[in-house]
Structure 1
Amino acid sequence: MPGVDPSQFRQLLGRFATGVTVVTTRDRSGKPIGMTASSVASVSLDPPLVLVSVAHDNDMHPALKAAGRFVLNVLAADQEAISRRFAEEHPNRFDGIGYRETQLGLPVLEGVLASIECEKQAEAPGGDHTVFFGLVTGGTVSDGRPLLYYRGGYAGLGGGGGGGR
């Protein structure tokens, strides 16, 4: 059976709407570093585990390999510009971006719907990516609408949006 080429694969998965996050940590020199990621998922409730998939050629890859901790920042609908900024090849993505630090010194972006603080538990190869698993150790939540990514572009929720629990 023939395989699926990268273009078709992107088209297939483009029909799967995802939330948009920015993964943040600090590099070896202590500088804050981050990247936009939609390849994020919950893995387990007990213990609380999440995963994020990072391309080998992304500058975030060596930082996450070296880091013991990271934060998943779940972006709000009005944070498309932040998503675009952290998706770019930019040496100083945090310039002009508001953030605070966790008790452990990890950067958390201002205005996010949730910040999910993680201790890296494991990593596994995944083709041209590495899958990083994190134990959720804390976080914050706020109200608002999520930024979504669908069919190669940003989208929002229609109607009343999910207010349920």
Structure 2
Amino acid sequence: MERPALAPPVVLAKGQVSARQFRDAFAQLPAGVSVLTTYAPEGPCGMTASAVCSLSQDPPLALAALANDSRTLARIRVHGAFGINVLRARDTAVADLFARPAPDPAHRFDGLPHEPVASVPVLCEALVWLACEVVGLYPGGDHTILTGLVRAAGRRPGVPLVWHRRRYTSPA
């Protein structure tokens, strides 16, 4: 059986990959869609994220990358805990709700069933949720890499929401 031919490489000098080329390349990588949540003095807040993954099984650690200027990141730094809520395929409206900046982020939770678990808001309809205690914050260019010790977790049956080629989809 013959191997398919690889696309010819484009060799650029260091630092010459444009932001557009970089985004286009990673648009090909499917990613689960999650809502990161925390509490602020004004109430629950959160944001949509796709840069989320497991980091370690022992101890159980999760990782997320948030833009340095993210209001949710600022609130997580203060609160010291965050939730990862993996969305179901049917939850595109929830993903969009948390993806847009909001003047009063607590209103995003109006009419959205949620409950506190291990000091973070958990979305009751999430496919998977993790309640994490912040254990590390690391610089990552225009993002901050956030690591958390998983203190509680839960899951429900269903199919995950996936972000691929700049649109929502789900596994076959």
Same fold? TM cut 0.5? yes
Q: Measure, in 2, the Cα distance between the counterparts of 1:123 and 1:105.
A: 19
- For residue 54 of structure 1, report the CA deviation from its aligned partner: 0.7
Alignment-derived partner of residue 18 in structure 2: 5
Q: Measure, in 2, the Cα distance between the counterparts of 1:106 and 1:133.
A: 15
2:136 aligned with 1:122, yes or no? yes
2:81 aligned with 1:69, yes or no? yes
Q: Measure, in 2, the Cα distance between the counterparts of 1:126 and 1:2.
A: 18
- Secondary structure class of the residue paired with 1:70: strand
Structure 1 residue runs of 5 or longer lacking an equivalent are 159-165
Q: Measure, in 2, the Cα distance between the counterparts of 1:46 and 1:30.
A: 35
Give the letter for the 1:99 counterpart: H
Paired residues, what number?
156
Q: Measure, in 1, the Cα distance between the counterparts of 2:92 and 2:143.
A: 24
- Secondary structure class of the residue paired with 1:33: strand
One of 144, 148, 151 as aligned partner of 1:134: 148
- For residue 30 of structure 1, report the CA deviation from its aligned partner: 5.1
2:109 aligned with 1:94, yes or no? yes
- For residue 59 of structure 1, report the CA deviation from its aligned partner: 1.4
Larger Rg: 2
Q: Measure, in 2, the Cα distance between the counterparts of 1:8 and 1:25.
A: 33
Q: Measure, in 2, the Cα distance between the counterparts of 1:8 and 1:93.
A: 33
Give the letter for the 2:159 counterpart: R
- Secondary structure class of the residue paired with 1:76: coil
Runs of 4+ in 1 over 3 A off after TM superposition: none
Q: Measure, in 1, the Cα distance between the counterparts of 2:78 and 2:19.
A: 29
One of 143, 153, 159 as aligned partner of 2:167: 153
- Secondary structure class of the residue paired with 2:112: coil
One of 43, 55, 58 as aligned partner of 1:43: 55
Alignment-derived partner of residue 162 in structure 1: none
Moved more, 2-11 or 125-134: 2-11
2:127 aligned with 1:113, yes or no? yes
Give the letter for the 1:9 counterpart: F
Q: Measure, in 2, the Cα distance between the counterparts of 1:126 and 1:64.
A: 17
Give the letter for the 1:5 counterpart: S
2:97 aligned with 1:85, yes or no? yes
- For residue 41 of structure 1, report the CA deviation from its aligned partner: 1.2
Structure 2 residue runs of 5 or longer lacking an equivalent are 1-12
- Taking structure 1 as the reference length, what is the TM-score of the superposition? 0.90
